[in-house]
């Protein structure tokens, strides 16, 4: 005898509720937005003209970019707390913030090497700059590319400090926002 499937909001044998249609659609939309955002940021990094040399204007541009990233992050935290799906919004927030942070530093390294050749132990292409940024972020430090000039070292140290803040503080803030969002959702539903 065939048993009909339980309703979507009915707990399964494991005690967990099956995802309902709208939740599944929200997850798919979140994944699609995440992939599109990350792909767009990486494409922008490779396609935007970066022919100017690293200068005071470039440094100001990086600082403004980091401040814009922080403003975006603050807005995303608020969105997480009010979202009906705070976990999904948290993934989306991190999938925007982290690549933007890394690509800003990759662009800075690339521009620095273009304006002051020899700033690193080898010439940097855009891909090399992104690779170096990721090795610094992940603390792998293969040693194949190293900062040589004082400016390159200061920029790398700035990224290291930003990495610590991003991983430590931002992850904690996002986790807290998810908890607030989940409590708010429970209060609305209950």
**pLDDT (0 to 100) of residue 186:** 83
Residue 53, pLDDT > 80, answer no
- How far, in Å, are 62, 76, 174, 186 from residue 22 at the CA level? 40, 22, 24, 17
pLDDT at 20: 55
Count of H helices and E strands in the chain? Answer: 6, 0
Range from 11-15, 31-35, 104-108, 159-163 carrying the lowest mean pLDDT: 11-15
- Considering only CA atoms, which of 63, 51, 190 is closest in space to residue 126? 51
Percent of the chain with pLDDT over 90: 38
Is the confidence at residue 8, as pLDDT, over 60?
no
Q: What is the mean pLDDT of the chain?
A: 84
- pLDDT-derived band at 11 (thresholds 50, 70, 90) equals very low
C-alpha dihedral (175, 179, 180, 184), degrees to nearest 10: 150
Q: What angle do CA 39, 42, 48 make, to 5 degrees?
A: 125
C-beta of residue 112 within 8 angstroms of C-beta of residue 104? no
- pLDDT score for 31: 86
pTM over 0.75: yes
Min mean pLDDT across 52-66, 79-93, 153-167, 175-189 is at 52-66
Q: 100 near 72, Cβ under 8 Å?
A: yes
Q: Which residue has the higher pLDDT, 147 or 139?
A: 147
Tokens 């009915």, located at residue: 10
At 3 the pLDDT is 43
Averaged pLDDT for residues 51-65: 79
What is each CA distance from 2 to 5, 15, 71, in whole angstroms? 9, 21, 55
């Amino acid at each position: 005898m065939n048993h009909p499937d339980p309703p979507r909001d009915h707990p399964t044998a494991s005690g967990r509720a099956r995802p309902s249609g709208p939740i599944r659609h929200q997850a798919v939309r979140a994944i699609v937005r995440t992939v599109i955002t990350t792909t767009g940021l990486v494409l922008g990094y490779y396609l935007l003209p970066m022919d100017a040399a690293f200068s005071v204007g470039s440094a100001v541009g990086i600082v403004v970019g980091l401040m814009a990233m922080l403003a975006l992050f603050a807005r995303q935290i608020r969105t997480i707390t009010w979202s009906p799906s705070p976990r999904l919004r948290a993934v989306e927030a991190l999938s925007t913030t982290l690549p933007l942070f890394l690509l800003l530093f990759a662009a800075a390294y690339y521009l620095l090497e273009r304006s002051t050749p020899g700033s690193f132990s080898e010439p940097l292409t855009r891909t090399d700059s992104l690779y170096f940024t990721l090795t610094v972020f992940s603390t792998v430090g293969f040693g194949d590319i190293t900062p040589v000039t004082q400016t390159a070292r200061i920029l790398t140290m700035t990224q290291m400090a930003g990495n610590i803040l991003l991983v430590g503080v931002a992850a904690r803030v996002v986790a807290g926002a998810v908890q607030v969002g989940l409590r708010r959702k429970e209060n609305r539903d209950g």
